[in-house]
Amino acid sequence: MLETQTKRSGWSWWYLLFVIQVAVALWPPFYNRIEPTLMGIPFFYWFQLLWVIVSAFFTAIVYFATSD
């Protein structure tokens, strides 16, 4: 039981996905440009919207890969 508890409360490498998700979202130089556009939408906008979807996938992956 003790062993399980240590595992449960500790760090999981899957959390690295969260680090990527947050780091990209907080780095405007990465996405602050117009080209390439998508259906006429500048990169700045469609990339951040796409990143929402990617982030949701990341969170889902972490959800299934880790337990409480």
State the residues that interact with other proteins by CB under 8 A: 1, 4-5, 8-9, 15, 18, 21-22, 25-29, 32-34, 37, 39-42, 44-45, 48-49, 51-53, 55-56, 59-60, 62-63, 67-68
Residue among 13 and 29 whose Cβ is closer to other proteins: 29
Instruction: Specify the amino acid at residue 56.
Output: A
Rounded Cα–Cα distance for residues 49 and 31 (Å): 11
CA gap 49, 6 in Å, rounded: 37
Minimal distance, residue 17 CB to other proteins, in Å? 9
Q: Residue 21 CB: number of other CB atoms within 10 A?
A: 19
